[in-house]
Chains A and B, each alone.
Chain A
Amino acid sequence: MSKTYKIKKVIVKTEYKVLAALLIILAGGLVLLPKYEKNSGIKPESFLLNIMSTERYITTDQIADKIIKQDPNLLLIDVRKKEDYDSFSLPNAVNIPLEDVLSSDSEAYLNQDEYDVVLFSNDNFYADQAWQLCNRMGYKHIYVLKGGLNEWFNTIINPKEPKVTEPELAFKQYDFRKAAGMYFGVGNNKTTTTKVKPKKVIKLTKKKKKVAEGGC
């Protein structure tokens, strides 16, 4: 064997050893690296942008329309407490109280691609909080009912009659709301809203004839 061949052989042999050592050192480095809790969900910058955007809001008219047309993509979620949900809620709504939004049971409802999820509460504040939690986790297709159930009551169940001077659109909307109200079982709310005025009883009191006092 020539000398150069021997040297080459040594280089090749040590090269493999160096490479093997490098792999083990790099893999060991992963074990030794200080671990840190990673941010789960979307980045803070995009979260702030999402919060400012009003795209998440959906009006009561839109929801009423979707419910009446039986939109199969609609999933209503009531984020109020269980007692409130039991006393009244929207038809076919699912109850996920605000504190349970991030629990593993509710993830199947919120983190999915099939449905448009609409969150609602009495106003939109709790629903907004739930939306923020979901948005931060990167869940898609989550919306908030603008104004919540109070707005639902004021617009669908008990709509205000527009003034005569208002545009035609307002009347059409009013007609839709009345019809929607009937669908949800309120009936012709015009009669329900007009209060029966108590009859004014006019008491007639006979004037007593006064005895003329004095005189000229």
Chain B
Amino acid sequence: MGPLIPNGIIPPEWNFVIAILIGIVFGFTLEASGFSSSRKIVGTFYGYDFAVLKVFFTAALVAMIGVYYMDYLELVNIEELFVLPTYTWSAITGGVFMGLGFVLGGFCPGTTLCAAAIGKIDAMATMLGIFIGIFIFSELYDFIEPLFDSSYLGRITISDSLGISPYWFIFLFAILAVITFYVVDVIRKRVKKVFY
């Protein structure tokens, strides 16, 4: 049956309407769970709050399990889902920069907008920084391009590159996630409490 829009069950004109609705719900949830606070977000780096890590791990796991069950029941054809192409080294470099910005600004791109929307001035400054970063990247693109396009691996998934069954990978990932949750809880208890 699915994916709904590529298979014509929902007309493609609804694409943006649905995107906006999902965006509103996403922003609301981010704000409601306190993710617009930079103190909460950088807690992952300092070890006093691992909410970000737990949320993203859980989200990935729930989505994985859900998508594969839906694929099994033929509600979604997993082959038709979009897989972002992998460029190993540019992904690693980008990840390092993203992490730096994360700990410097105290926001990830989504939460920046969220926090700016509720009027946080540091978030607005971070937003400005994002645009400056985009500008610098665009100006230096010719210089960066060799790294940007190098080590292209195609549209692969982890289970493709490791050569294991995706079901086993999800099972191992679930166990890993639960162990991680336990470990970060232990760390959080040992680190000095920060009130924010």
Query: In B12-70, which residues have CB < 8 Å from any A CB?
Result: 58, 61-62, 65, 68-69
Q: Which residue on chain A has the smallest CB distance to residue B77?
A: A38
Contact B65 A31 (CB under 8 A): no
- Is B134 part of the contact surface with A, judged by Cβ < 8 Å? no
**Which listed residue, B72, B168, B178, touches A24 by the CB 8 Å rule?**
B178
Query: In A114-134, which residues have CB < 8 Å from any B CB?
Result: none
Known: A23-B61, A23-B65. A30 touches B178 (CB 8 A): no
- Is A33 part of the contact surface with B, judged by Cβ < 8 Å? yes
- Is A27 part of the contact surface with B, judged by Cβ < 8 Å? yes
Contact B171 A31 (CB under 8 A): yes
**Which listed residue, A16, A20, A28, A38, touches B171 by the CB 8 Å rule?**
A28
**Cβ contacts A31-44/B at 8 Å (1 or 0 each):** 10100001000000
Contact B178 A23 (CB under 8 A): yes
- Is A202 part of the contact surface with B, judged by Cβ < 8 Å? no
Contact B170 A27 (CB under 8 A): yes
Query: In B142-196, which residues have CB < 8 Å from any A CB?
Result: 165, 167-168, 170-171, 173-175, 177-178, 181
Contact B175 A30 (CB under 8 A): no
Contact B69 A30 (CB under 8 A): yes
Q: Which residue on chain B has the smallest CB distance to residue A39?
A: B74
- Is A49 part of the contact surface with B, judged by Cβ < 8 Å? no
Chain A contact residues, majority secondary structure: helix
List A contacts of B178 (CB < 8 A): 20, 23-24
* Number of chain B residues close to chain A: CB under 8 A: 19
**Which listed residue, B68, B74, B177, touches A23 by the CB 8 Å rule?**
B177
- Is A7 part of the contact surface with B, judged by Cβ < 8 Å? no
Q: Which residue on chain B has the smallest CB distance to residue A21?
A: B178
**Which listed residue, A20, A23, A31, A38, touches B168 by the CB 8 Å rule?**
A31
Contact B173 A27 (CB under 8 A): yes
Q: Which residue on chain B has the smallest CB distance to residue A24?
A: B174
- Is A108 part of the contact surface with B, judged by Cβ < 8 Å? no
Query: In B72-91, which residues have CB < 8 Å from any A CB?
Result: 72, 74
**Cβ contacts A8-31/B at 8 Å (1 or 0 each):** 000000001000100110111011
Contact B65 A20 (CB under 8 A): no
List B contacts of A31 (CB < 8 A): 165, 167-168, 170-171
CB distance from A38 to the nearest CB of B (A): 8
**Which listed residue, B62, B167, B181, touches A30 by the CB 8 Å rule?**
B167
List A contacts of B68 (CB < 8 A): 30
**Which listed residue, A16, A24, A26, A38, touches B175 by the CB 8 Å rule?**
A24
CB distance from A155 to the nearest CB of B (A): 38
**Which listed residue, A20, A26, A28, touches B181 by the CB 8 Å rule?**
A20
Closest 3 CB pairs of A and B: A27-B174, A30-B167, A27-B171
Given contacts A24-B178, A28-B174, 6 further A-B contacts (CB under 8 A): A26-B65, A27-B170, A27-B171, A30-B72, A31-B165, A33-B167
Contacts from B to A (Cβ < 8 Å)? 58, 61-62, 65, 68-69, 72, 74, 165, 167-168, 170-171, 173-175, 177-178, 181
The 21 sampled A-B contact pairs (Cβ below 8 Å) are A16-B181, A20-B178, A20-B181, A23-B62, A23-B177, A24-B174, A24-B175, A27-B61, A27-B65, A27-B170, A27-B171, A27-B173, A30-B167, A30-B170, A30-B171, A31-B165, A31-B167, A31-B168, A31-B170, A33-B72, A33-B167
